[in-house]
Structure 1
Amino acid sequence: MQIPARWRYLSVLFIVFVCVLVGHFTYQQHYNDLKRPLEIKQNALTDQTALRINARLSLVDTQIRLFRHELTLLNPEQSELEQVMFSMFRIYSDLLQARWIDLTGKEQVRVDRTPDNEVIKVATEMLQNKSRRYYFTAGMALSWEQVFISQIDLNVENGQVQRPLQPTLRAVIKASLPSMGEGLLVINFDLRSLLSQLQALNQADNELLIGAGDYRWIVHPEPGKTWHADLAEKRADIVTDLPEIAAKIKAGNLVQGDELNNQLFTVQTLLTTANSEGGLQDIHIIARTPAELLPAVKRQAIVFASIITFVTALGGLSILYAYWRHLTQLNKLSQSVQNERNNLQQALQRQSTLIEELAEAKKLSSLSVMVAGLAHELNTPVGATQLALSNQERLLEKLITQKQTGLTKTAFESFLSDSQQSLEQAQHNNRRAVELIQGFKRLTFERANDELNTFNVGQHLNDLCHSMKGLLKRSNVRLESDIPADITLTGYAGAFTQIVQICISNAIEHAFKGMSGACITIKSKAQNDRILVTIADNGVGIARDVMPFIFDPFYTSQRNNQHTGLGLHMAKVWLEEAFNGTISVDSTLGKGTVFTLSFNQLDQLAADIRKAGSTN
């Protein structure tokens, strides 16, 4: 039997399906494993950047408060105020500009740090009115303890962006001096150092982008994209360059390890509390992978998944091939077993036919034994009858002779006496012959027409014993019996005598092996609804290793003497099938063997048959 092509195609498709699944999940798992270090680095990068920015903003707040506190302690005159500011510039190198603005917005004192890092006082005529600037408006709205921190932008003087570019942050706090009255202390902080430090945090596998609000890049891996809002150039900001990220930030969604346009993004936003115009914007810290990195990671994951998929496919196809080969071998073996089974069935059929033929031959053989026994038994009464008739003929011839010569009374009376004796002898032997023939007829008729009936066990066993006397005499075996005359059995009489005859014949043929004093004893008795018949001999017995096989078909120890080995097997089968009975054997080496036959009464079966017959 060949494997159907449909199943082979389905098996291959299943392997392909499994390989696709394995490849997909392997790719996803390995890709995630490769991304995980990048995500960890991005989180570390954004955390470190946020820490530095927060530290700088905190320092701005602290510095302007310390400056105001120092002014309060020193209480300088207006002419001395600029010197105090000079001192502060020398202490803090990131101060870009310090001013005292009165409540009208007019600059009273101003100290600047030039691009050459020189600290100078701005001349009185150069001082400006800042009343329209957003940080003045915000400062005037402050309470005494509040500090206003402006947005991050480029420093602008007289409407012009200062060159080189000066990223700056303004801090405003209210102050009061006896010499100056109330006013605003405004300090511009130089953020170039901070932004340089943040720019240095860029890594080969992670780029740092920082947006001050939605419209200004203050740190970008491409320097040309920073400060476009301050330089009035084409927009370059988070909303324009990364609209998907900007939308997620606006919606308040967490962006951590998000994949967009073959790049990995992690965003951390520093939210400010500024609610006035020009206040510090929210700071968006973005870490992203270079454009070429994630495709390379994907290729690496694809290569790994391809290898695993190939190995899986190779293994699956190998297993499938082995299974197909095994199945083919099983099919061949199954076909071989089927052929062998057919051969065995044919052999069994031939054996069954042979057993049936041998059983018929066995029946004929047993019939020939009975015929031979009958002939031997008839020989005596027939011969005696013949002798009596011959003697009567001689007496008659003598009487005729005496009649011619003169018959005397004494001679006639002697003739009558001798004739009566001869006739009685002839009649006796003739009755004996008739009895033998009737017994033989009973046995042969019942075997030929074996119907269910009730029969006398003793009569049938005696008929069987008489029919086997010739065989027993030739074999020098004495037969003894203890058979009650009143035992009846409902069953098949022909099968009954056939089974007993087989056991007697088996004892004659195998039990004695030429020993003298051979004797077979037959007994029968009724036990509940059974009839027990025992056939015992005083022969050599049966060896222990032979006992398990004596009822097997064709098992015999005398095959050289043309024995078939079917006798006891057929006796057992007939006993079980015809009488639902059993046969057992008990043997002792050197003492003999006893076969016990148990015949069940078939009264119920006979009643059912009679009932069925009356119904029909």
Structure 2
Amino acid sequence: MINQKNESIRKKKKVIFRRTLLLFLFFFAIITASVLTIYQADEILDIGEQKTQAENIVTVKLENIQTEMSHVTTDLMILSLNSQLLKFWDDTTNTEIMTSISQEFLTTAIYRKIYDQVRLINDDGQELIRINYNNGYPAAVAKHNLQNKKDRYYFQDAIKLNKNEIFASQLDLNIEHGQIEQPLKPMIRIATPVFDKKGKKRGIVLFNYFGENIINMLIHKDSLAKNQLMLLNSDGYWLKGPSPDLEWGFMYKDHKDITFDKYYPNVWEIIKNNEASQFETDLGLFTFKTIYPLLNKQKYPATENFTLKTKDASLKKAYAWKLVYYIPAAVLYSKHKEYRQQAGIIITILFIVMLIFATRYAKIEYHKLHAEISLKKSEANLKEAVAAKDKFFSILAHDLKAPFNSMLAFSTILNEQFDKYDSEKQKKFIGMIYTSIQNTYKLLESILLWSRSQRGTIDFKPKKINLFLLTNETYELLQHSAENKSITLTKRIPENIFIEADKDMLSTTLRNLLSNAIKFTPKNGKISVTAHLIKDANNIPFVEVIVKDSGIGISQEVQAELFDISTQTITEGTDNESGTGFGLILCKEFVEKHGGKIWLKSEVGKGSDFTFTIPLKSDITTI
């Protein structure tokens, strides 16, 4: 008695625990999902703010560079169109005019403070005026120190230009006496031709612009952005990089391989082939825009009527920079760890509160629902058991009655009137009894097999099977039945198609479908079996097998009941062949056991197609 009581208490505690767990999980899942949703929204908002900030930084820096280059071209045009310069070409010996022009050039260098040199060069390449910046102390170079620059590329390219055309070199490092000047001096040479009053080209005005001004624009006050704002040339070399060691690789023979592409290969492909974009990779967030410093598509108020020319063949490629703002993934998601820690604390507190609440609630609800659950469960089990019993005995009684009646009738005749019949007649009666016994045995065997499948006592042993060979074996078993009705059996199955299945179950399925096809196909009919590989909506591979016959077909009403045990229908074949009514039911059981499906397509008088699928395991090679 005590043991029974303890067992009852133990079961009650177990039920309380389950109910508590379910209630807890339900409410905890809802609240946890809400908390996580809020924090996920914060994370998304944080990422969105960083993306917006990145776009704003890139846009502002791009505008700053464009504005700076606009001022440079404006200065160049002002000096090239100087009225004193026009007078000078009429009298190149006039020292007063020369002094005035030199002073104008000097004034530009003094107040702008962005030009290393400002020069006037005649059409023979001879320097007429050269203003050197001299580390903040601009001065004109004495006449006897002026040089001829006719062999320099910038003169040769600039002197070829027409009116209103501007030459610009690449942004690179200044070279003195064949060596890169130290400390490094980034430089752009910008020039335009000058003409006399008659429109004759007389020389060029040339600026050596301090490229460091552009580099300095990219130094951002935000510490996070300090090493993330980069400037690349059209070949992917850093002009301004995360560290000085990576910059100006194209200027050094042993640094030619130091490119953005080497460190970020997939990223560079996107940046190189697009004007502007913002995208995220495993490395982090990249925001970039393309700068055409002097290209007339980016208009400047004072220079929109001028055209950029470079010594490179491709204008767009030669003078395009990529302004890139890079936020590493660790920085991009740095706040997410903080958010998740906060969410973890809140969820832990909620966990404890909800666990207490769920425990108390479960204890109250247990006594109220326990009786109802037990009653419903008992009622359902009883109904299911009664229905199964009634169904089984109804089928069994119905299907056994006919063959037993037949056997009783013929055996009675033989028992009472054996001597009245000749041996031929006796053999006929005995053959009928034998056939009836065979059919009854098949029925009992099918019922037993179905019963075992319902109880789950049939061993399911899938293994690698050659479908072609298995179909051959089935054909050999049924060949005689087909030949008796002059039915042609064909198959279209690749010889090397393999599946993983229980051989007995699959053989039974094929045998039942082919037996039915033979049974309901008239003489001289045709039956075929085909198989091929398919994939379902989830891209899972299956083998689809189709058994097609030219038989009498099946009505829509009968089709709806073929796989239902509770509405079992037995129909004689075209030669009065008998059946058990369990064949298709077993086929359905076995196919579904493999995780497949079975269905049919049929019209009365036009034959039937029975199709079933078997999953193809990933380690099985087929076709």
Q: What's the TM-score, normalizing by structure 1?
A: 0.47
Q: What's the TM-score, normalizing by structure 2?
A: 0.46
